[in-house]
Structure 1
Amino acid sequence: DNQVKIRGFRIELGEIESKLLKYRNVKEAVVIAREDENKQKYLCAYVVLNNKEDKVDKVDIKKYLQESLPEYMIPSYFMTIENIPLTHNQKINRRELPEPDETGLIANEYKEASNEIEKRLVEIYKDVLGVEIVGVNDNFFDLGGHSLKATVLASKIHRELDVEVPLKEIFKSPTVVEIASYISKSSISKYKKIKRVEEREYYEASSAQKRMYTLQQIDKENKTYNMPGIFEIEGEVNRKKIEETFIKLIERHEILRTYFETVDGEIVQKVKTDYNFKVKEVNEECTIEELMDKFVRKFELEKAPLFRVEIANIKDKKYFLIDMHHIIGDGVSMEIMIKEFTELYSGKELKPLEIQYKDFSKYQNDYLRSKEIEREKEYWLEIFKEKPPVLNLPYDYERPEIQRFDGDSVNFVIDEEKTSLLRSIAKENGCTMQMLMMAIFNVFLYKNSGEEDIVVGVPVSGREHADLENSIGMFVNTLAIRNKMDLSGSFIDLLKLVKENSLKAYENQSLQFEELV
């Protein structure tokens, strides 16, 4: 695939090469990853020029690439060579490319932290972005940051440095040195940890759990809120060890042995101590689709655990199947579960959890009943003081009276050239790819409906508090982001509006969707 991993990022070398080929006077280009004496990988670009007497302006070519590529995709060396070495099969012979020297090196702009705040911020950046090297002038979004990671960054800064940094400030000042400057001028705002609740017979459900429970009661046979996954297994399978590992996970995360009931008209969660969990192993003669149809069954919310695991043998292949009800988990939870399962299975000891999901439920419900939520409520009520129009799209079929979830997806891939152009537009306008796609989606809906006032539901992780980063549970909220298009303006005007409205929505994301409705 001609992919490499640099600073924790998977990079398509072909994307850099295609950009170089569009630079003036470049005839051929090859990019490879090399290792320095410290085993650190770096990128090296080799170019063949149209005119041999010309020279490459390294600073200019770097600026050109920076217009559309993130910083981690910019080569450290630009070497001019007379021709690209080829193998007998006329393929590029990467082994024959010369070692880069100082003539091709671009002055390294990496700068280390110069004070304690910058040092601590560098460590937070590394942790949030999952990269090994961060300079104080590195742009958070060039290193792979996006809206979700920016929310996590703000939360961790609050926990580590007792200063609240608004999301819009991270977009405005995305480097370590800029945020350090903002922190040095800000007042202290003590970080409040989520407290553990005392043991009791049952606990109040979170807002999202109440939503899920109610929707499931409307149609108890509905499997829409199942979260299934399937993995092909290579090598030997130890069913007993897999089962024992999952039991460790169930002991670690109380939410994995939580079930739901109503008490005095209130939806509550109860934590089970005498649960029964087994991993079945089955032999099947069917397709993967038929296997999943058999495996994905309805859950009874009154019975824990609300997830199941199975190992299936089909012909000479083995599969690992997992299904979880959305009421106890979300997409991030599934990632945490798989990561911790892998670590426990390989014998690693995990650091004990400081809080459980029921502690978050109490924390969230207290906040939703407090005066602090009024500011967010006012924001959303102002946005929707006029009722939004119904979006009349040209559907193929009439909507049924009872909502069904039948439908299909249309999948396509955007080519390298368009992707580069999109990255360039997002970078020039200081927004994320998600915001750019949201603006494009609004245009798409306008073109198909003729409606200029459009509301799009955007899911957010709901993990604003840093204490929640390793928690399994249902945290997701939906933000009803409303954009009113000015048809006399340009697309860039719309993009700026979407960015502004998205940032305001993210800063007021604690008010739950059902509360707004």
Structure 2
Amino acid sequence: MYPLSSGQRRLWLVDRLEGASAMYNVPVVTRMRGPLDTERLAAALTDVVGRHEALRTVYAEHDGEPTQVVVPAEEARVDVGLTECGPERADAVVAEHSGHVFDLSRDLPVHAHVVRLAPDDHLLVLVLHHIAADGWSIQPFGKDLAHAYAARLGATAPQWPDLPVNYADYALWQADLLGDPDDPASLLSTELAHWSAVLAELPRELPLPMDRPRPRRASHRGASVQLRAGTGPARRVAELARRSGATPFMVTHAALVATLSRSGAGTDIVVGTPVAGRTEEALDDMVGFFVNSLVLRTDTSGDPTFAELLDRVRETDLTAYAHQELPFDRLVEHLRPSRSLASHPLFQVSFTHTTGPEQPLTLPGLRCAPAPTLLEAAKFDLDVTVVDEGPAGLAVRIGYATELFDEATVVDLGERFLRLLDAVTAEPRTRISEVDVLSPAQRQLVRDTWPGTPAEPPAGTVLDALDARADATPDERALVFGDIRLTCAELRDRVNGYAHALIARGVAAGEVVAVALPRSAESVVAVLGVLRAGSVCVNVTRQDPRAGHLLTDSGAVLVIGESDAYEGLPVLGGASGTRLGRVRGLHVRIDRPP
């Protein structure tokens, strides 16, 4: 038994916390035309699993700690399933097997299935679990699989040189490299000190233009959109990178940062990016999980030109890559951000820039081409990938969490990114506020529709309107939320009940009351009740990175909310509300009136 690497430990903890799922599958689907021999394919896959220990490792728990258990090569066999069907069923079968769920304590992290469309037309669905393989691993895996398949076609076993190290050796080496956390001179201590300074006062979440509020627990259901830019932007990205002493990644990273900032995300923009983590040449030909995540934090304040923003991004990225040895899970453990099953810690937007196009698995005697995996799992709110396809230009894929975004919103965000990238690479001295990110239809809406003659504001307040309707039509429906139906009279009674409860607790007219309730009928009643009491209402949520500032700067004397609504909200130390008593600090729950 061996310890897990830091990356493996993080995925193991996710598996234990959230349950087994396909979220961390690495599926590769390949269209293969020609005489595919599934028996020899299974033998070749077994050969590859025997060569790479990570592919024949299961994960057991010993004294409360996870351990790697390497299955002997002679016992590690890969079976290849087979489904014969027509093209009309193929997508469903591919999606089913791309979403195969592994039991990490028992299953080898390899799953293979062949969909036979015709005698010489197949789809190979190969799924690796991320705990055993990262994106880089597909290249050595594919090379070894092709070599083993060729050998098995010739009725021999593959011959290849021994790998210089095994994955278990890497896990031990990584722990030794990082050193003792109690030693201030260790690499772990110095890296933690660096990242603690860089990420000080990090916003809890990036404010994104979501279509729906974040649920309490992420479902990880996802989808993606595909966009393209022509050869012009791709060429200008490369030219600007050369002139600026930057890389194409830095140019597109800066463009994404500017797009998010222009779309309401503020000026403290945090995205994450994966790094290969293979800092030693001996790891290049290994299948395993070496990838790490870097947190890239960029300040867009002061309305910089794009050239100035690119300088900031260049410095941010170079510094981050110079400190990439610290495993992401150790960083999270050290910083202890407010954790939630609703969102990814430290960053919610992931960004990758690669050079493509995607290379398929290839087997001798077969014509192979990549095919869609049909697996859409959302690890992040947004997952942006820019692929430089050379003469074909830039391809942009944006994966997104469907419980947060509509497809139209993500398409619009992607088109803004491409418009901004096109503009700033043509003229880098343009200030990011000067770039027109609106589509022609949006611009027409703003110019021709919205500036119409302002309507006369209604007389009185919203409470006056409620009273008038409750008097005139008390049985008319006023509020609908899910199964809740309140008439005008019932709504007024509930609002008055809240107001009396506030006044009874000593809240004076003009004082600020915070409402920390999820979107619901109760939140509407609470807001109106605060206003009825003559108080000032401020709405806060634990997901809002500005919550702390809103509560402290407003001088709120009371917070209305359910018990779990307070998680992640700061205590209002020093506020005048101390006279109201201490329940969870100054978080005082107002019971719902009858």
Whether TM-score is above 0.5 comes out as yes
1:391 and 1:449 in contact (8 A); partners too:
no
CA contact (8 A) 1:272 1:304 kept: no
Q: 1:364 aligns with which of 174, 199, 203?
A: 174
Mapped partners of 1:204, 1:419: distance in 2? 44
What's the secondary structure of 2:224's corresponding residue? coil
Shift of the alpha carbon at 1:483?
A: 0.9
Correspondences of 1:228-307 after superposition (within 5 Å):
228-273=27-72, 274-285=75-86, 286-295=88-97, 296-307=99-110
Of 216, 232, 256, the match for 1:401: 216
Alignment match, 1:33: none
Displacement of 1:253: 0.7
Tell me the percent identity.
27
2:114 to 292, 311, 327: 311
1:329 Cα deviation from its structure 2 partner: 0.5
Q: Shift of the alpha carbon at 1:488?
A: 4.0
Displacement of 1:306: 1.2
Task: Give the 3 Å change call, closer, same or farther, for CA 389–309 of structure 1 in structure 2.
Answer: closer
Residue type matched to 2:102 in 1?
A: F
How far is 1:215 from its partner?
0.7
Q: 1:430 aligns with which of 223, 245, 269?
A: 245
**Which residue in 2 is equivalent to 1:216?**
15
Read off the aligned partner of 1:284 and give its amino acid letter. C
One-letter code aligned to 1:321 = V
> How far did 1:315 drift?
4.3
- C-alpha offsets along residues 155-192 of structure 1, whole Å, 9 cap, x if unaligned? xxxxxxxxxxxxxxxxxxxxxxxxxxxxxxxxxxxxxx
> AA paired with 2:101?
K
The aligned residue for residue 335 of structure 1 is 139
Deviations for 1:197-236, whole angstroms, at most 9, x for unmatched residues? xxxxx10001011100111122324211111111111211
Per the alignment, residue 512 of structure 1 pairs with 327
Deviations 1:125-179 (A, max 9, x none): xxxxxxxxxxxxxxxxxxxxxxxxxxxxxxxxxxxxxxxxxxxxxxxxxxxxxxx
Residue type matched to 2:126 in 1? I
Q: What whole-Å deviation, never above 9, does each CA across 1:18-72 have from its counterpart, x for those lacking one?
A: xxxxxxxxxxxxxxxxxxxxxxxxxxxxxxxxxxxxxxxxxxxxxxxxxxxxxxx
Matched, 1:325 2:129: yes
Give 3-state SS (helix, strand or coil) of 1:410's partner. Answer: strand
Q: TM-score, normalised by structure 1?
A: 0.59
| 3-state SS of paired residue (2:127) | strand
> 1:313/1:459 Cα in 2 relative to 1: closer, same or farther (>3 Å)?
same
Task: Give, in whole Å, the separation in 2 of the partners of 1:488 and 1:228.
Answer: 42
8 A contact 1:344–1:350 mirrored in 2: no
Return the letter of the residue paired with 1:419: A
CA distance in 1 between counterparts of 2:148 and 2:242 reads 40
TM-score (norm 2): 0.52
1:288-325 CA-to-partner distances (Å, cap 9, x unmatched) read 32012221321000113111112221246311110111
Distance in structure 2 (CA, Å) of the matches to 1:415 and 1:263: 54
Question: Structure 1 pair 425/356, CA: closer, same or farther in 2 (3 Å)?
Answer: same
Distance 1:466 1:299 in 2: 30
Please give the residue correspondences for 1:21-100 in structure 2 after superposition, counting only pairs within 5 Å. Answer: none
Question: Given that residues 296 and 316 in structure 2 are in contact (C-alpha distance below 8 angstroms), is that contact kept between their aligned partners in structure 1?
Answer: yes
Deviation track 1:447-495 (CA, whole Å, cap 9, x = no partner) reads 1125111111111111112211111111111101111124243111111
Instruction: Name the structure 1 match of 2:255.
Output: 440
Asked if the contact 2:253–2:313 (Cα under 8 Å) also holds between the matched residues in 1, the reply is yes
Count of paired positions: 316
What letter is aligned with 1:480?
A: V
- Are 1:469 and 2:284 matched, yes or no? yes
Q: Distance in 1 between matches of 2:90 and 2:37?
A: 21
> 2-side partners of 1:243 and 1:503: how far apart?
44
Following superposition, the deviation at residue 276 of structure 1 comes to 3.5
Q: Cα RMSD between the aligned structures? A: 1.6
Q: Deviations over 1:422-459 (max 9, x none)?
A: 22111111211111111001001101125111111111
Does the alignment pair 1:352 with 2:162? yes
